[in-house]
Structure 1
Amino acid sequence: MLPHSTLPPATASSARRAALVAATLASFLTPFMGSAVNIALPVIGREFSLDAVNLGWVATAYILAAVVFLLPFGRLADIKGRRRIFISGLAVYVVVSIAITLSQSGSQLIALRVAQGIGAAMLFGTGVVVLTSVFPPAERGKVLGLNAAAVYIGLSLGPTAGGLLTGAFGWRSIFLTTAALGLFALYFIITRMKTEWQEASDERFDLKGAVVYGLALISLMLGFSELPDPDGFILIGGGAVGLIVFLLLEARTTHPILSIELFRHNPVFTLSNVATLINYSATFATGFLLSLYLQFVKGFSPAGAGLILVAQPILMASISPFAGRLADRFEPRLLASAGMALSATGLGLLIFISENTSMVYIVAALVVLGSGFGLFSSPNTSAVMGSVTRRHYGVASATLSTMRLVGQMLSLGIALLLFALIIGRVQLSPDVHAELVTSLRVAFSIFTVLCVLGVFASLPRGRGLPVNNGN
């Protein structure tokens, strides 16, 4: 593809519009499904008799698969074509969503969630880079803000729609709805987005690095769920060693899937990615944990729980476009750091949750948390994408998405670890309400500390957004 600046005005405008609509549809789709499934987890657990840890794997398997495959697919998108990987990912997502409705056991469901995560990795690794490929730097914050708003609208509608669908038609209807939305997006993309981006077609794919990276992450996450069993410590140790080996390999590879050079010589890129990792590690499991709390401890229906949880993503969706526009005018680091501080405040409020906590208090905490996250996301993404040249857009986008998903994985990993240590491998029931509440309080204490540390990672990244020369 020609750079956006060299396209005829009419063609450039059409390409930008198609890219924005396509990326926005995909950005809505995956969080909508994820947040809807969180609401349905108690129903799924009862149907398949899943204990607390295995129930967590219904959510975690999807995230883990997406993390493992995101960097490789981000790299393949630069080599083989971003549009091609984007369309393939959406097709996989649709087919697997339909297959999930036929699941007959918890193990089948978890296996298919892995396949769905692979499809999601293709989307995560290409959506943002499609936008940054066709929009000029002066408009980047605005379109990334709109893209972030689509994510948060999906998160906003997911709990309510998931609760209503589960109550009226069963949990499988969530995946059928997702498949229908995906089919519409797939038709639109195939017929209206014709441009291909393939800016590294002359480079080789780092298969060795991709394999080591994937095995290390799988070992690490399995280790979390096996603690305090000795095998858990062995798996975590093996995963940590694997990640070190991966970094050493990437430093010596001509065309790595993770550019170590970007981290070495670009403090804005490095610290913005670290801030993303910390932010998602501290916040992502909130919806998962509160969904269980509201339904098992407070006795809400899936629909009722969804209506309460919707407070957080509504604030995200409302604030992120505004924050994106501000990032085009002011220092992204200051906006993102302020958002991280707000998120820490919201998480701190949830430390005091108990069986008797009022819904007003929980909603207030979610409002503060959602406001902070909305203020953080768009400026931070703008800082990352504005700190690299066009040739590195695919790697930068995939790296940012990887930090986000690794953060989500670690957040769920902390929840699984606490369930294993405090609740044990038993089904959630009134007999373990006290243990569930204790798990939540410990988790939110850990998350608050992480978010406070994130503020200090976010502030020193630099006083201004580096100038992108467009090359």
Structure 2
Amino acid sequence: MTASANSQRAEPTELEPISREGLSLLVILAGSFLAPLLMHSTTLAIPSMAADLRLTAESVSLLTLGHILSSACMVLPAGKLADIYGRRKIFSIGTLISGCACLLGGFADSAISLIAARCLQGAGGAFIFASALALVNSIPPPQHKARVMGIYIAIAYLGIVVGPLFGGYVLTHTDWRWVFILPGIALLLTGFIGSVCLSWERYGNRNTRLRWLDTSLYMLSLGLIAVSVFKTGALIGQFMLLAGLAAFGGFCWFQTKRKDPLLQVSLFLHNPVFALLGTVNFLAYSAILALSFTLTLFLQYILGLDALTTGWLLISQALLTALVAPMSGRLTERYKIKDLLLIGFTIMLLGMLCFAVLGESSSVWLVIIGLALVGLSIGIVDTQIIHTALNSVSHEQLGSASATLNGLRSMGGFVGIGIVSYLMSLYLGRNEIVPALYAELYSMLHVYFIVAALLVAVALLLLVVGLIKRDTL
């Protein structure tokens, strides 16, 4: 009887080893979590850096502008390099670059070295996100792509949620340098695992190529525009701005003549879905990507809050996005994509209007409501934009299309931070941010919040025209 019972007893179930694709997704999600965590925790620490290193308002703006400039400059070449050498390899290189940048920032002792670290950090982040988006869209089977994309966006925004809390906790108990060092160690470990232990998609398409003339022209155009921000009052600044715009126009013209372009301009000319979604995505990120920086300045300088309290307040946006994004993919099963986009951008506009009416003695609840509305809107529209835009292109264009989407986001953020940097230069000049200049700082922030709300309003108007009248989707 005992033998019979033993024979009928189920054998212990062995844990199935994680698949190669599953391990790849875990590493990609880890890097996609750490990169935004680093960006937002270091942004929260900018007032502490400014006080410790006695940074001027111009240097403070360069900490953010340098980061987004290098990201915008590198995201398109990174997408092309991912097509050539393999997305896994470029992703691993990006995490290693970001990790090294963190260590450089952690031991910086001057404005120049700190700005250099932020620039290197932006370049590493460009490598991560240019490859991660395409990897996430390529690994899962078609029936799970929308859901996995929602998880990817949620993980990325979870990094944004944890970033301010992590930064606030570190700044409260230790030194701002650890905001760089601790994520840097984690990124180096992630990069090591990605480069040594993973074998998924080891090689790319060697038939494509990166044209260095196009890349140089693209970087030159953004660089000229960035430098002109600080010299707009002088003739040389106006000349540099016009030269930068002309160089970017020339770059776009070159792309229409290339069989294997760096920027898929043809998608805007021949793919109305991608053109519409790419444009509104650019406008939205022009408005929202600078919010973390501007609200950090507002909460810590104008309202006098400490870093930890500021971190707790800033998480409301990312928390709503992280909660809503995984469900956004399922919403397409019940609602039309165009309806979700219109609702999402309307909510985003309401959130931006909350910031536009902020006063020097406003309640923090107005900030929380605005951030919650913006976070809710991003959770609704981000998954729809990415999934729909990438599904509108061929498989061969997937790498360049995902890099183009990331490039549009980075360029949108570059425009937003550029506006902030211009306003800081106009209102504060090269002075340190001291209490005597808080009135000028508030005026600068108020103007930016109004401009950001107008950018979202334009995006919503384009959606109304493109989705309702033309019925693009």
Superposition TM-score, scaled by structure 1 size: 0.92
Residue number among 241, 247, 253 corresponding to 1:236 in the alignment: 241
Residue 425 of structure 1 aligns with which residue?
430
Residue 444 of structure 2 aligns with which residue?
439
| Percent of aligned pairs sharing the same letter | 27
Residue 37 of structure 1 aligns with which residue?
42
Residue 252 of structure 1 aligns with which residue?
257
Code of the residue aligned with 2:185 in structure 1: it is A
Code of the residue aligned with 1:307 in structure 2: it is W
Residue number among 274, 279, 302 corresponding to 1:274 in the alignment: 279
Contact 1:36 1:161 in 2 (8 A): yes
Alpha-carbon distance in structure 2 between the residues aligned to 1:159 and 1:94: 19
Residue number among 363, 369, 376 corresponding to 2:374 in the alignment: 369
Residue 321 of structure 1 aligns with which residue?
326
Matches within 5 A, 1:296-311: 296-311=301-316
Residue 3 of structure 1 aligns with which residue?
none
Residue number among 387, 396, 400 corresponding to 2:392 in the alignment: 387
Q: Deviations over 1:165-213 (max 9, x none)?
A: 1222211101111112213322442455311165532122221111100
Code of the residue aligned with 1:242 in structure 2: it is A
Q: 3-state SS of the aligned residue for 2:19?
A: helix
Residue 361 of structure 2 aligns with which residue?
356
Code of the residue aligned with 2:223 in structure 1: it is I
Q: Given the alignment of the two structures, is residue 160 of structure 1 paired with residue 165 of structure 2, yes or no? A: yes
Contact 2:61 2:424 in 1 (8 A): no
Matches within 5 A, 1:9-158: 14-158=19-163
Pick closer, same or farther for the CA change 1:43–1:78 going to 2, 3 Å. same
Contact 1:94 1:183 in 2 (8 A): yes
Gaps of 5+ in 2: 1-15
Contact 2:45 2:167 in 1 (8 A): yes
Code of the residue aligned with 2:184 in structure 1: it is A
Residue number among 294, 299, 310 corresponding to 1:294 in the alignment: 299
The CA RMSD measured in Å over matched residues stands at: 1.9
Residue 397 of structure 1 aligns with which residue?
402
Contact 2:65 2:421 in 1 (8 A): no
Which ranges of 4 or more aligned residues in structure 1 deviate by more than 6 Å?
A: none
Residue 334 of structure 1 aligns with which residue?
339
Pick closer, same or farther for the CA change 1:200–1:190 going to 2, 3 Å. closer
Residue 221 of structure 1 aligns with which residue?
226
Alpha-carbon distance in structure 2 between the residues aligned to 1:387 and 1:136: 17
Residue 174 of structure 1 aligns with which residue?
179
Alignment length, in residue pairs?
A: 455
Q: 3-state SS of the aligned residue for 2:45?
A: helix
Alpha-carbon distance in structure 2 between the residues aligned to 1:201 and 1:330: 41
Q: CA deviation at 1:464?
A: 7.0
Code of the residue aligned with 1:360 in structure 2: it is W
Larger radius of gyration between Structure 1 and Structure 2: 2
Q: CA deviation at 1:379?
A: 0.9
Q: Given the alignment of the two structures, is residue 409 of structure 1 paired with residue 414 of structure 2, yes or no? A: yes
Q: CA deviation at 1:100?
A: 1.7
Q: CA deviation at 1:312?
A: 1.2
Q: Deviations over 1:234-283 (max 9, x none)?
A: 22111100001101111112211112222211111111111110000011
